[in-house]
């Protein structure tokens, strides 16, 4: 059996508070709320971020989100009042590290080497 996809998950103390923050981050409401303690966002080239309420694990998660424009992402984070002081650039990737309100680590990565970016399969690129 082949793995078909991957889901990233982030544990939070309060789902309603976290959903508000992630809605601001993604500029949209969750794509799905399949259970009372879970909200999910899907992304154009595949993958999902699940935010779920589990206070005992809150702040112990990390996720990397690939972006097209790290500078634009940094500007949005600043507008949200998020500290973007933790930055790293190399010849292959530019990164901003931030924390959500519960302390989970979120890396925004802009690949400069296209081989590092996940590309949508050709069959689904037109969907």
Q: Which CATH number fits domain 7-115: 3.40.50.150, 3.10.180.10, 2.120.10.30, 3.40.120.10?
A: 3.10.180.10
pLDDT of residue 3: 83
**What CA–CA distance (Å, rounded) separates 110 from 116?**
9
Domain ranges of the chain: 7-115
Global pTM reads 0.85
pLDDT of residue 46: 86
pLDDT digits (tens, 9 = 90+) for 75-123: 999 999 999 999 999 999 999 999 999 999 999 999 997 776 655 444 4
pLDDT digits (tens, 9 = 90+) for 54-71: 999 999 999 999 999 999
pLDDT of residue 22: 98
Average pLDDT of the residues in 3-16: 92
**What CA–CA distance (Å, rounded) separates 58 from 11?**
5
Contact of 38 with 52, CB cutoff 8 Å:
yes
Average pLDDT of the residues in 20-35: 97
């Amino acid at each position: 059996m082949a793995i078909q996809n991957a889901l990233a998950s982030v544990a939070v103390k309060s789902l309603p508070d976290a959903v508000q923050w992630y809605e601001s981050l993604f500029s949209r409401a969750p794509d799905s709320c399949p259970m009372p303690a879970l909200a999910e966002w899907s992304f154009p080239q595949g993958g999902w971020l699940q935010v779920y309420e589990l206070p005992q694990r809150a702040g112990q998660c990390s996720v990397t989100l690939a972006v097209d424009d790290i500078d634009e992402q940094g500007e949005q984070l600043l507008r949200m009042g998020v500290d973007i002081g933790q930055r790293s650039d190399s010849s292959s990737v530019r990164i901003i590290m931030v924390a959500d309100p519960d302390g989970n680590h979120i890396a925004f990565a802009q690949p400069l080497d296209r081989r590092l970016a996940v590309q949508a399969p050709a069959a689904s690129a037109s969907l």
